[in-house]
Amino acid sequence: MTVPTIHRAMTPREWALLLTLSILWGGSFFFVGVAVRELPPLTIVAARVGLAAVALHAAVRFVGAGMPTGRAAWLAFLAMGVLNNVVPFTLITWAQGHISSGLASILNATTPLLTALVAHRAVRDEPMSAGRLAGVLVGLAGVAAMVGGAIPGGTGTQTAAQLACLAAALSYAVAGVFGRRFRAMGITPLQTATGQITASALLLLPVMLLVDQPRALPLPSAGAVAAVVGLALLSTALAYILFFRILATAGATNIALVTFLIPVTATLPGIAVLGEVAEPRYLLGLATIGLGLAAIDGRPFRALRRLRRPAA
């Protein structure tokens, strides 16, 4: 299979799509923070992918695109659904029952660091340069300091929740690299988003019915229901159409930069509406991760060198 070559520097259009995606995914932490107060994690995740699958199939029918029917395509959808939805959605949703949405989003911002490592091993056109390696080391050191500093004052469950967010970031990193194959298979971003979400729903719905037994749950409030609907339609269905559109041309490492933008869009609603507190070590961790990402991306340092040349 021939994987299309990825261009390193994103276009203005890709950056605009990336910013939009960061708002949609940043909102997911807020929606989960509202819903998890009344609903169990598996129920939230299953409802999220189930409603998103219905919306995406409606979109496919509306544009007359149809869905692939081959075995290879649906096996790829299944693998992508596990890596990009089932594992990270479940881990992050569970974690947000024990830590703030702001902290969860900051830990999720390690995805580009992990993606750089995975992409270096898995694909030839996203190699690990010296700058990227330095960025990975700096970023991971910042995360280790942030999480390690929380252990003495936190509970074992809170530490496990932070580690769950890091495991989710690793799953996202692998998914970002794996998802590049869909363009080579001739599958559009809308078809890819629909396929992976559908596969995720088929996997999660039976498990949720068995484990959570939703009929026995108390009736959720209108706010919790609205949060799940927003999570499904905005932060999942629409977000993944944008995700696969950017991934097809910008590559796994570039699109993973969205997770550095997410903490801003995730933390502000959590503070304003959910009463969460942004601790200083969270901001320090975010700044350290940002330094690592700048080294991975390389463009801020190249811009500084260009500015210094005329002066020299």
Mean pLDDT across the stretch 184-189? 89
User: For residue 98, what are its two tokens?
Assistant: 């024990």
pLDDT at residue 263 is higher than 80: no
**pLDDT tens digits along 5-24:** 455 567 788 888 888 998 89
pLDDT digits (tens, 9 = 90+) for 32-60: 989 999 999 999 999 999 999 999 999 99
- Among 119-133, 152-166, 231-245, where is mean pLDDT lowest? 119-133
Higher-confidence residue: 139 or 248? 248
Decide: 114 and 293 in contact? Cβ < 8 Å. no
Q: What is the DSSP letter of 215?
A: G
pLDDT tens, position by position, 205-257: 999 999 998 888 899 999 999 999 999 999 999 998 898 888 777 776 677 77
Q: Model pTM?
A: 0.77
Task: Tell me the per-residue pLDDT of 65-95, one tens digit each, with 9 for 90 and over.
Answer: 889 989 999 999 999 999 999 999 999 999 9
Query: Is 126's pLDDT higher than 60?
Result: no
Torsion sign across C-alpha atoms 230, 179, 187, 43: negative
Q: Nearest CA to 102 among 259, 227, 268, 289?
A: 268
- Using alpha carbons only, how large is the chain's radius of gyration in Å? 19
Q: How many CB atoms lie within 10 A of CB 101?
A: 28
pLDDT confidence of 3, banded at 50, 70, 90? very low
- For 275: left if phi > 0, alpha if psi spans -120 to 50, otherwise beta; the answer is left
Q: Could you tell me the pLDDT band of residue 123, with boundaries at 50, 70 and 90?
A: low
